Structure 1
Amino acid sequence: MQLWGYVALLGAFILVMSWMLPRRKNEPQHPSQTTTNMEIALEQFMENMESDNKELVDLVKRAQTDNAEQLAIRERRIIDLEHRCADLESRLEKVITQPPVAVYADIGTVHTPNADVQIAQAAEVQPEPRITIRTRYTELFELYDSGKSIEAVARKLGMNKGEVQLIIQLAKQEEGALV
């Protein structure tokens, strides 16, 4: 037998076998257990999402009320501080506009305008000690003047190198301005 005969016999055999094997029955499509499980899972997911959304809404509402309360407290404090500032300004204005009252140890002395002038002149004569950068940062300048490097001074005092350089430069400018 030739090759085409074998192919024909094989095809006939397959055809007979396909007729002989039982066919699957077409069952009507009804919801299976997996689809009901999927529906239940989706319903639970939606319920969880709704409860999470409600919690988020409650959290946002609480945050808004807290912020509103804090804002009201701050506004009240600002108003109180403004009133206090206005009160202090008026008290300062009264102190400035009132003539200075001399306090005398002797009750029998008479208060004269000439005494007020003398007190004012005495106050003007005493100059306030001038605060320089060198007096403010004495330890820094002691270390720097003793020959320590800027890095060593900065490490010793726990400051930044740039900060130490700036202080030294400002002190030099201040000394130049005073001369």
Structure 2
Amino acid sequence: MDQPWVFIVLFGLIFIVYATIVPKRSAAKGQANPTIREIEETMEHFTAELDEQNKALIQMLAETKRDYEMQAAKLSSRVETLEKQFTQTSQEMSKLGYAHEELQKKTVHRADLISTSEFNQPMVIVENEPEPIAELPMAMNLKTRYAELFTLYEQGKSTDFMAKKLNMNKGEINLIFQLAKQEEKLSAH
């Protein structure tokens, strides 16, 4: 037996046999080791606490999951509502854009008719025009018709201020200014 591992194995076997025989003798005598009993009680107490903590943790996770599912359902319903509103708004915007283009075409068309016709002559009715205009009045000059508006413009007032003061829409004011510019260009020719 020249090998050291043989001694280690033999020593381990002796230790195991001794460890199994000694507790049997102590138990047979009715004397359990007090430290072992304390360790066992501590371990039982520790496992009981772990079980309670695990149950509390599982309950908390279940509540969190329910809350998350409720919040997710609320958010998905809000997203659906917003998508519907966006679709409706997009459709309304496209309709308004189309109506605005049509209005601009009619306005430019009418401005062309006003500039090309004589004031004493009856106006020519063009196709797609809903209402006939019989005769143009003599005073069609926009600067005289909207003198107060052009006075405020020359004073450097903002479009918002003019709209509030004259009880007009900003779009209407901008349209009048555009028509006045076209009128000036046409009268210059």
TM normalised by structure 2 equals: 0.42
TM normalised by structure 1 equals: 0.44
